[in-house]
A and B are shown apart, each in its own frame.
Chain A
């Protein structure tokens, strides 16, 4: 186990370093820079700004400096927001996105898993048809459509919830639902097919033959194995959903991290692009690691490090 963790850590660091290097190269390869303006800056003014942000240094030096600062945990100043560091942008945005992400993760699992299990157990009965109809709808309907409908009916027409922003616990509800829609449906479908497959296996027949109650057969023996593809799916999903969604955060004007993944690129805010990418990559690598560890708990046949 320990050698496995050490090995994984080493490959993780290399992975993240590769991501940093590729992002750095790509970012500088696209035309335009952080101070590209519709109104062109006078040349000396532009020079002053480039000097201030060390953009006049050779690229290799900027790269080395970035790695050095990163090693100290310093992600640098934002090129767009004066006086604000990228560390602060992440520290401000991540908790908001994570809260929203957790709330919508709860919705996905609380609705998606049971719906999938019921569908599998009542295969081809009305419960199955209804759940799968809703799941198809959920997969097909983009989240901004759900968001717009919610804002209009629940926010404007009924006035039950605030239409946007992040002001009270009520602010979480609509975005969490809009964000969860697609994933809930997907998890329901995944659970259903996985359950159906497991229920047909020999050991389930054995369990039933032994006269175990159906409840034990389903929840203890079948579900545990059926969860493997779902856990695999959840790993990267959690990393993605905790770091926020650009579309949902934009529509609901939520001060999360998700928007920075897109806006930092259009602003050519180099340090923010790097910062959020490194943050997301680290979280993703971490989640994948956790998933691998969880496998060995769910399925004893899977052993780490072999």
Chain B
């Protein structure tokens, strides 16, 4: 028996030593060493880092580090020249001619040409590629038809004039098209690489050829990725750091421990209950995101087929309490379109021009009055109400707080909350088997349209099941308009309609809650959620 124990002891030692062999040695790459690497926690490992196939914001951060589109976004999320040095737009605003810079190169030294973009876009739209985000290219002439197999690749409004000139024809004027060309789905990819390596090309550093400021040198599955400065990047002088290490820690408390122990420089998520303490460190940053957290009514079912009841429920919520005391982050939402979206006609923020439709603080008297007017004085006769949300600590604490606000401010008792597993929840919500459901929307591009076309009749994301011909007409007008003033006026009018009809309750606008070490400078966070490292520095 003793021999057995000895054997076990020896075995366990061996195991512990052997375990060490699996890991990579990154000790020297820390910010303290000679090389300046930023250690950023990425969160869950990306599902795909193929520009066409990526669907996540996190995956986008990696693609943006390794690739560059025709345009790129500056710190205000405005399009600036990327691979394209300049562009001409036709008077009817449906034809874009991009002039590519001649010094843009791939990470293996080959030149970036107009053909690379044409190939990438056709690939993303090809039904065989089955790219989820291909709808970002649906503005191009015949693109939806091609994706559905009803048109040929030659019919697409994409024309390679010469190696450095790309002509794009759109089906309608799209004022935010230059924002879209800075979106990962529209980044160029290499035909020769993809044809040779198929769907494996993104998995190995040797074949993950990009044209961006960094290139991948290491990918240890489920643990980390490593990137170094791309010496072939045309604007490499802009890049001040030697590289990035992206780690895949998914749990917020674990990231925070890593950050506090000095193993990480940037984390993009923190446990909500730690925020008050973290704010005192001076290293806590809240970045505005182009998104709205809201509760959606099913407007086809009583009692929420009555706008007065909907409005009463919306006015009974104290948004400030939610952002300061419950979630401890976020911006109180007084309307659907998030702040940061520009009103291009006024040169101001869309939100500033549109104003607030819901109060920041609760208005219990007004809410009760509306409820009484709707035929439910003091909630008498109101059918049982259930709010559904998907399993998550964040959604739970917000739902419970709001439930209390409804009970207190409306004087009703028969409201309950119910949580559901995520995919079940999405199913329930899409089928309309609910009264009130949690919802969230993050914009795909920086324009009010990304929010407002949601509530058109038959839109797959219109879970309110609301339908209004006048609204559909307004959105259609805005899509076709070539006059920015006219377009903005229509969009404001559309927003006003859904807000006055209170088909949903805006609760808060998302923020990304980060901890950033003070020696990291020049980091840019896009409102679409992407992190840009190309101007970042480590200053100690």
- Determine if B257 is an interface residue (Cβ-Cβ < 8 Å): yes
Q: In residues 17-55 of chain B, which contact A (Cβ within 8 Å)?
A: 17-20, 22-26, 45, 47-48, 50, 53, 55
Q: In residues 109-139 of chain A, which contact B (Cβ within 8 Å)?
A: 109-110, 113-114
Q: In residues 215-242 of chain A, which contact B (Cβ within 8 Å)?
A: 219-220, 223
Beta-carbon contact of A255 and B48 below 8 Å: no
Checking B22, B201, B263 against A99 with a beta-carbon cut-off of 8 angstroms, the contacting residue is: B22
Beta-carbon contact of B128 and A52 below 8 Å: yes
Instruction: Please name the 4 residue pairs, one residue from A and one from B, whose CB atoms are nearest each other, closest first.
Output: A32-B423, A106-B12, A169-B20, A255-B222
Report the minimum CB–CB distance from B94 to chain A (whole Å): 22
- Determine if B424 is an interface residue (Cβ-Cβ < 8 Å): yes
- Determine if A93 is an interface residue (Cβ-Cβ < 8 Å): yes
Checking A114, A165, A176, A268 against B5 with a beta-carbon cut-off of 8 angstroms, the contacting residue is: A114
Among residues of B, the one whose C-beta sits closest to the C-beta of A53 is: B130
Instruction: Using A36-B426, A49-B132, A173-B16 as known contacts, say yes or no to A155 and B147 having CB atoms under 8 A apart.
Output: no
Q: In residues 78-125 of chain A, which contact B (Cβ within 8 Å)?
A: 80-84, 92-93, 95-96, 99-100, 102-103, 106-107, 109-110, 113-114
- Determine if A151 is an interface residue (Cβ-Cβ < 8 Å): yes
- What CA separation (Å) do A84 and B440 show in the bound complex? 30
Beta-carbon contact of A163 and B250 below 8 Å: no
Report the minimum CB–CB distance from B62 to chain A (whole Å): 13
Contacts of A45 in B (CB 8 A): 130-132, 134-135, 147
User: C-beta contact mask, A37-55 vs B, less than 8 Å → 1, else 0?
Assistant: 1111111110011011000
Instruction: Using A219-B2, A255-B220, A255-B221 as known contacts, say yes or no to A42 and B47 having CB atoms under 8 A apart.
Output: no
Q: Can you identify 14 A-B contacts, CB atoms within 8 angstroms? A: A31-B424, A40-B430, A48-B129, A49-B132, A83-B198, A92-B222, A99-B18, A99-B19, A109-B8, A167-B223, A220-B1, A250-B251, A251-B254, A253-B250
Contacts of B147 in A (CB 8 A): 44-45, 48
Beta-carbon contact of A35 and B132 below 8 Å: yes
- What CA separation (Å) do A288 and B260 show in the bound complex? 44
Beta-carbon contact of A93 and B257 below 8 Å: no
Of B16, B18, B249, B441, most buried by chain A (CB within 10 Å of CB) is B16
Contacts of A223 in B (CB 8 A): 1
Contacts of A39 in B (CB 8 A): 441, 461
Contacts of A219 in B (CB 8 A): 1-2
Beta-carbon contact of A156 and B257 below 8 Å: yes
- What CA separation (Å) do A42 and B144 show in the bound complex? 10
- What CA separation (Å) do A44 and B12 show in the bound complex? 55
Beta-carbon contact of A31 and B17 below 8 Å: no
- Determine if A188 is an interface residue (Cβ-Cβ < 8 Å): no
User: C-beta contact mask, B399-412 vs A, less than 8 Å → 1, else 0?
Assistant: 00000000000000
Beta-carbon contact of B50 and A82 below 8 Å: yes
- What CA separation (Å) do A191 and B179 show in the bound complex? 67
- Determine if B479 is an interface residue (Cβ-Cβ < 8 Å): no
Checking A42, A93, A107 against B135 with a beta-carbon cut-off of 8 angstroms, the contacting residue is: A42
Of B11, B134, B222, B250, most buried by chain A (CB within 10 Å of CB) is B222
Instruction: Using A32-B426, A32-B427 as known contacts, say yes or no to A37 and B132 having CB atoms under 8 A apart.
Output: yes
Among residues of B, the one whose C-beta sits closest to the C-beta of A32 is: B423
Beta-carbon contact of A83 and B199 below 8 Å: yes
Checking A41, A110, A164 against B249 with a beta-carbon cut-off of 8 angstroms, the contacting residue is: A164
User: C-beta contact mask, B50-73 vs A, less than 8 Å → 1, else 0?
Assistant: 100101000000000000000000
Contacts of B199 in A (CB 8 A): 82-83
Contacts of A220 in B (CB 8 A): 1
Beta-carbon contact of B19 and A100 below 8 Å: yes
Instruction: Using A41-B132, A169-B16, A169-B17 as known contacts, say yes or no to A32 and B424 having CB atoms under 8 A apart.
Output: yes
Report the minimum CB–CB distance from B50 to chain A (whole Å): 6
Beta-carbon contact of A40 and B460 below 8 Å: yes
A83-B199, A165-B224, A167-B23 known, 7 other contacts, Cβ within 8 Å: A31-B423, A48-B129, A52-B130, A99-B19, A106-B8, A162-B261, A251-B251
What is the number of residues of chain A that contact chain B, defined by CB distance less than 8 Å? 67
Report the minimum CB–CB distance from B445 to chain A (whole Å): 13
Report the minimum CB–CB distance from B274 to chain A (whole Å): 12
Among residues of A, the one whose C-beta sits closest to the C-beta of B20 is: A169
- Determine if B247 is an interface residue (Cβ-Cβ < 8 Å): yes
Q: In residues 247-294 of chain A, which contact B (Cβ within 8 Å)?
A: 250-253, 255, 266, 268
Q: In residues 150-187 of chain A, which contact B (Cβ within 8 Å)?
A: 151-152, 155-156, 159, 162-173, 176
- Determine if B253 is an interface residue (Cβ-Cβ < 8 Å): yes
Among residues of B, the one whose C-beta sits closest to the C-beta of A114 is: B5
Contacts of A176 in B (CB 8 A): 16
- What CA separation (Å) do A39 and B53 show in the bound complex? 15
Contacts of A268 in B (CB 8 A): 423
Checking B48, B198, B253, B421 against A81 with a beta-carbon cut-off of 8 angstroms, the contacting residue is: B48
Contacts of A162 in B (CB 8 A): 261, 263
- What CA separation (Å) do A82 and B202 show in the bound complex? 9
- Determine if A22 is an interface residue (Cβ-Cβ < 8 Å): no
Checking A102, A110, A164 against B258 with a beta-carbon cut-off of 8 angstroms, the contacting residue is: A164
Checking B148, B200, B250, B423 against A83 with a beta-carbon cut-off of 8 angstroms, the contacting residue is: B200
Beta-carbon contact of A152 and B257 below 8 Å: yes
Report the minimum CB–CB distance from A216 to chain B (whole Å): 10
- Determine if B203 is an interface residue (Cβ-Cβ < 8 Å): yes
- What CA separation (Å) do A176 and B490 show in the bound complex? 61
Beta-carbon contact of A82 and B47 below 8 Å: yes
Beta-carbon contact of A103 and B20 below 8 Å: no
- Determine if B375 is an interface residue (Cβ-Cβ < 8 Å): no
Beta-carbon contact of B426 and A110 below 8 Å: no
Contacts of A114 in B (CB 8 A): 5
Instruction: Using A169-B17, A266-B423 as known contacts, say yes or no to A49 and B130 having CB atoms under 8 A apart.
Output: yes
Beta-carbon contact of B132 and A103 below 8 Å: no
